[in-house]
Every structure is written in structure tokens, then in C-alpha cells.
Amino acid sequence: MATVTLVKRPLPVLPEGWTAEKDFKPIGSITASTQRTIEPVGPHFLAHARRARHKRTFSEDDRIQAQESAKKIEKDDESDVSEPEDPMMLQREAKDWKSQDHYQVLGLSKYRWKATEDQIKRAHRKKVLKHHPDKRAAQGGTEDDNFFKCIQKATEVLLDPVKRRQFDSVDEKADVDPPSKKDLTKGNSYKLWSRVFKSEARFSKQQPVPTFGDEKSSKEDVENFYNFWYNFDSWRSFEYLDEDVPDDNENRDQKRHMERKNANARKKKKAEDNARLRKLLDDCSASDERIKRFRQEANAAKNKKRLDKEAAEKKAKEDARLKKEAEEKAAKEAEEKAKADREANKKAKEAAKTAVKKNKRVLRSSVKDANYFASGDASPAQIDAVLNDVELVQGKIDPEQIAALAGKLNGLKVADEIKGVWSEEVKRLVDAGKIKEGEVKALL
């Protein structure tokens, strides 16, 4: 057992000189009370209004409400068995209970597998009160209790969860037939197929079951629906249709034979039901406009992707071709420009050479026109001395300076003027350090 340990902790000691009168500080105060009127709301308000309207006391109103509730329950009981009884059904043999429609016997055809346990019990009570042999005999009817036994058997099956599931597995009246092609052209195909799969969904082990949807359903929802139903896990079994197995222990071989026969029959019916459901799905998907639309969209997207790829490849090839042509054109233009430049340079050089030669001729002609600066006939020695000095000066100046010097000499005929131009050029070259002083004598 657990033990309890007491720990003693002393209270903190108040400061010396502390008193409640001078040291206690309140942080709030209680306000004065106010009287308010509270009105009932919700069901309490409705009950208050009902009592005030009919001038009833609490006990009186509770009693009247209880009576109305009892009447409502009785009306609900009557509504459960409001469907008319088939005269042929009332003549059934009790021994043929396995072929009877238990929901129809109890008047629950409109509910079938959706009927609650409470509805089954109320329907049984109403049927018993109506078809009990003693009551029928008191009313002057026959004492035949066959239908009463049918009622008892139907209640026994439907109140037993195992037996009821076995019966619901083979209850074909709860099935909804698939729509025909004619129905699909006339009505709302989504609504028609929804009813079919809503009926089949009662056999699913996995809940909730995806709904069929409508034309606005997304591709993901439609794919989830068909994936669920193509992998449908059904609890449906067919034990209810088994042939009776003899209970006598003497004929064990026959018992085993019947058990094997029933097992094989259940297996065959299960396979047939799976094939039926698969065909149902195939027919539904074949007529589903959403799947057709999704395929068209997928094909369009695939084609668009292919066309975009082809267009991109074509554009890349075209860009490469244009780039190559541009490069070739640029190279050709550059080559032509280089060739033109070379030719222009060549012509310029040739023109420059021609100009230099012409200007040199002008320089030589100028000294010749000046009679080589001799007073009489110039001797060969004088001619050589002047021409050597002209060649020396020409060698020290560039073509532009030669052209400038030729421009100054061009048109001069007086020897002194010509010699003055040459003397000035020689002095310039001497000052520039290109010619040594005294190196040129004939032109000074």
C-alpha cells in the first residue's frame, strides 16, 4: 500500500511592524447587486410560450405533451405497415419460408436492408396483433397459422444479424437494375448510375463508399471511384441459398457431400457476382462522358506537347540555319571587306609610291631647272654633287614632307628662289638632327 508522508512547512513571517489597517491594499471591490429579468430561450422559450398561450400549468403541459408524443408514435407504427398485403402472400406455406420475402411479410418493403431493429420489432408487433390465430378465430376467420409462422420466421431472420446479412446478400428486390441505352439517352445518366452503385455499396466492407458524382467531378474523384469499385471488397455471401444438410449422424458421407456441394455453389455464385459487377463497371465506364472528356483532354495535351516539341525542334533548326547563314554572310562580308581593304591599301600604296616618285621627279627637276645652281654650264661634278645632296635630303624626309617640299618647289623657275627653298629645308633637317652640319653643301 502507498504511504502518506506529512511535510510541515511553516508560514512565512510577516515583516516587523506590519498591520492590516495600514499595510493591506485592496485591489478590487464588490459592486452593488442589480436585479435583472432573464428570459427563456430555445426549447425552454417555446415551452414557456406554449404554456402562456394555452394558460397551462407545468404539470398540465407535460401531460398533454406526453399524450401527443404517444399519438405520434402510434402514427409512426401505422406508417411502417401501411403498405397493402398481397393476398397470395397470405396463403404461403410456412415450410417454404426460405423463398419468402421477409421484408414484405413484415410490411417493410420500402425499407428493406435499411430497416432498423426498432422498425422490425414494431412491424412484428402490428402483424402479430392482426394475424394471430386466436384473434383471427375470434373474428370468425380460419385458424390457419401458416402466415403467422411466416411472420415469426421473418422476425427471427431479420433480428438475427448473421441470418439477416445472409438474407440481404441474396435479396434481389433491393437491387437497382442498371440503366439501358434508351434510359441513358432520356434521363440523367449520372443520377441513374448513382442509384445503381448506391444499391451495390451496401455490400462493401470498406465504408464510406465513393459516390459516382456528376459532370463536375474532378478527374481524381472519377479515378478514385473506378479504382475503388474495380478492387471492390464485398462481404456478400450466399449461405442463405444452401441446400439443407441432414442432421442425422448415421449418414456422414451424405452430409459431407452436401457441405462440399454447398461450398462449391457459394464459390460459383460469388464468381458470377464478381463477373456481374465487373461487367456493370465496364458498361458504366464505356458510357461515362467524363472519361471520354478526360481522354480527349489527355490526348489534346499529349498532342500539344508533341506539337510544341516539334515546333521547338523546327525553331531550333531554323535558328541554327539562320545563325549559320548569318555567320557565313558575316564571314563573306568580312572577307570582301578585307579584300577591298587590301586592294584599297594596295592602291593607296601604289598611289603613294607614284606620288613619291612624282614628287621626287619634281625635286630633281627643280635643281635641273636651276641649272644645278651653276653660273654657266654645270660640270658633271657639280651635277653629281647637287643630285647627291637631293638624294640625301630625300632619304631623310618622309613622303608627306617630300610632297610638301615638292609643293614649295613646284612652279619655281628662278634659281635663287629654288635654292632658297632647298637651303631652308636643309637647315630644318640640320636643326632636327637628321643631317649633320656640313654634310650637305651644294644646296646651301
* Cell of residue 416, nine digits: 635663287
Q: What is the pLDDT of residues 353-391, one digit of tens each?
A: 888 888 888 878 777 777 777 777 778 888 788 788 888
Confidence at residue 75, expressed as pLDDT on a 0 to 100 scale: 60
Q: Are both 165 and 133 inside the same structural domain? A: yes
Q: Are both 238 and 167 inside the same structural domain? A: no
Evaluate whether residue 296 is within a structural domain: no
Residue 341 has pLDDT above 80, yes or no: yes
Q: Which H/E stretch holds residue 115?
A: none
Distance CA 94, CA 376 (A): 174
Confidence at residue 77, expressed as pLDDT on a 0 to 100 scale: 54
How far lies 122's CA from each of 90, 107, 128, in Å?
19, 11, 10
- Which of residues 333 and 403 earns the better pLDDT score? 333
> What phi and psi, each to the nearest 5 degrees, are found at residue 204?
-80, 135
Question: What is the pLDDT confidence band of residue 141, given thresholds at 50, 70 and 90?
Answer: low
Confidence at residue 275, expressed as pLDDT on a 0 to 100 scale: 92
Distance CA 157, CA 132 (A): 19
> What phi and psi, each to the nearest 5 degrees, are found at residue 437?
-65, 130
Q: Are both 96 and 190 inside the same structural domain? A: no
Q: pTM of the entire structure?
A: 0.53
Q: Are both 161 and 207 inside the same structural domain? A: no
> What total of structural domains would you count in the chain?
3
Handedness of CA 57, 60, 64, 67 (dihedral sign): positive
- For residue 389, what is the domain's CATH number? 1.10.8.840
Question: What is the pLDDT confidence band of residue 131, given thresholds at 50, 70 and 90?
Answer: confident
Determine how many CB atoms are found less than 10 A away from the CB of residue 188.
Answer: 13
Evaluate whether residue 301 is within a structural domain: no
Q: Which of 173, 206, 226 is the last residue of a domain?
A: 173
CA 348 to chain centre: 74
Q: Are both 183 and 161 inside the same structural domain? A: no
Q: Are both 242 and 261 inside the same structural domain? A: yes
- Count Cβ atoms within 10 A of the Cβ of residue 70 and give its class: 0-12 exposed, 13-18 middle, 19 or more buried: exposed
Confidence at residue 231, expressed as pLDDT on a 0 to 100 scale: 92
Map residue 204 onto helix, strand or coil. Answer: strand
Q: Are both 131 and 165 inside the same structural domain? A: yes
Residue 36 has pLDDT above 80, yes or no: no
Beta strands in 10-148 (DSSP E): none
Q: What is the pLDDT of residues 77-118, one digit of tens each?
A: 555 546 788 888 778 787 888 889 999 989 898 898 899 999
Evaluate whether residue 319 is within a structural domain: no
Q: What is the DSSP letter of 234?
A: B
Q: Which of 140, 156, 173 is the last residue of a domain?
A: 173
Structural contact between residues 147 and 104, judged by C-beta atoms closer than 8 angstroms: no
Q: Are both 283 and 182 inside the same structural domain? A: yes
Q: What is the pLDDT of residues 398-433, one digit of tens each?
A: 888 888 878 887 877 777 787 788 888 888 888 888
- Which of residues 144 and 314 earns the better pLDDT score? 314
Evaluate whether residue 235 is within a structural domain: yes
Distance CA 133, CA 127 (A): 11
Q: What is the pLDDT of residues 222-266, one digit of tens each?
A: 999 999 999 999 999 888 888 877 666 567 778 888 888 988 988
Evaluate whether residue 294 is within a structural domain: no
Confidence at residue 15, expressed as pLDDT on a 0 to 100 scale: 79
Evaluate whether residue 195 is within a structural domain: yes
Confidence at residue 82, expressed as pLDDT on a 0 to 100 scale: 60
Residue 70 has pLDDT above 90, yes or no: no
Map residue 287 onto helix, strand or coil. Answer: helix
Q: Are both 189 and 233 inside the same structural domain? A: yes
Mean pLDDT of the chain: 83
How many residues can be counted in the chain?
Answer: 444
Structural contact between residues 378 and 372, judged by C-beta atoms closer than 8 angstroms: yes
Q: What is the pLDDT of residues 266-284, one digit of tens each?
A: 899 999 999 999 999 999 9
Which of 228, 219, 173, 238 has the alpha carbon at shortest distance from 197? Answer: 228
Q: Are both 196 and 121 inside the same structural domain? A: no
Q: Are both 204 and 238 inside the same structural domain? A: yes
Q: Give the domain extent around 416.
A: 361-432
Residue 66 has pLDDT above 80, yes or no: yes
Q: Are both 181 and 277 inside the same structural domain? A: yes
State the distance between the two ends of the chain, measured CA to CA, in whole angstroms: 145
Residue 73 has pLDDT above 70, yes or no: no
Q: Which of 173, 193, 208 is the last residue of a domain?
A: 173
Instruction: Give bridge partners of residue 204 from the DSSP assignment.
Output: 234
Instruction: Give bridge partners of residue 300 from the DSSP assignment.
Output: none
Mean pLDDT of 338-360: 84
Distance CA 278, CA 26 (A): 81
Question: What is the pLDDT confidence band of residue 160, given thresholds at 50, 70 and 90?
Answer: very high
Confidence at residue 74, expressed as pLDDT on a 0 to 100 scale: 56
